[in-house]
Amino acid sequence: MKTHVLAILISGLMFSGSVIKAQTSTAKMPVDTETKLITYKEVVTSTGTPADLYIRAIAWVNKQYKNAADATKVRDPESGLIEIIHRFEVTKVDQGTTLLAGVVDYSLKLELKDGRYRYTFTNFNSKSVSRQPIEQWMDKNSQSYIPVFDDYLKQVDVQTRKLIDGLKLAMQPSAVKKPDTW
């Protein structure tokens, strides 16, 4: 009887330890206070007119997306607005094999003004039978919550931050080439 109680106590401690680990491993996702949606948003200063910034942004879009015309929903050089709807994959590891776990759609809005631009990544949705906002992955009290959601959120965060880094790099003014004077 004592060994049975001890085994239950030890397994309970092991289980609670894994729950604590799962709860503390969630990526810190930026959530907009008004919309309650995961939103990556920043105003970045960059030299150039709206037209210059628009050209750099379109060059990045064309390089970043295989089918840029399909991904880009709005290209308006007059207002300095570019809107993109695209997706990326999330994976899971099952018995040492990496498998496709799903596809996450997102929207990106680029707003270009004189000497600055603003990007907004939001509307992250998991594609399944119907589109589901990925914010539900953050609700650890939900009956549908599973610990792998933490890993999916980390993947979304990493992939979004890679897109942001690539955008910031592409939006920097190119070095002016000196004329060849010989």
pLDDT of residue 77: 95
Choose among 57, 90, 108: nearest CA to 159: 90
Pair 110, 81: CB distance under 8 Å: yes
Own/partner contacts of 106-111, CB < 8 Å, gap of 24 or more, are 106/160, 107/83, 108/83, 108/84, 108/163, 109/81, 109/82, 109/83, 109/84, 110/57, 110/81, 110/82, 110/83, 110/84, 110/167, 111/80, 111/81
Give residue-wise pLDDT tens across range 102-142. 999 999 999 999 999 999 999 999 987 778 899 999 999 99
Residue of higher predicted confidence among 182 and 55: 55
The answer to whether residue 5 scores a pLDDT higher than 60 is no
pLDDT of residue 11: 35
pLDDT of residue 21: 32
Q: Output the pTM of the full model.
A: 0.79
Choose among 28, 4, 24: nearest CA to 16: 24
Q: Kindly report the number of other CB atoms within 10 A of residue 26's CB atom.
A: 17
Rounded CA separation 11/83 (Å): 51
Sign of CA dihedral 30, 71, 78, 175: positive
Enter the CATH code of domain 28-170: 3.30.530.80
Domain ranges of the chain: 28-170
Q: What is the mean pLDDT of the chain?
A: 85
Least confident stretch, 18-22, 83-87, 164-168, 175-179: 18-22
Rounded CA separation 149/28 (Å): 13
- The alpha-helical segments, DSSP class H, found in 122-177 are 148-170
First and final C-alpha spacing in the chain: 95
Residue type, 9: L
Give residue-wise pLDDT tens across range 138-180. 999 999 899 999 999 999 999 999 999 999 999 998 866 666 6
pLDDT of residue 38: 97
pLDDT of residue 174: 81
The answer to whether residue 48 scores a pLDDT higher than 80 is yes
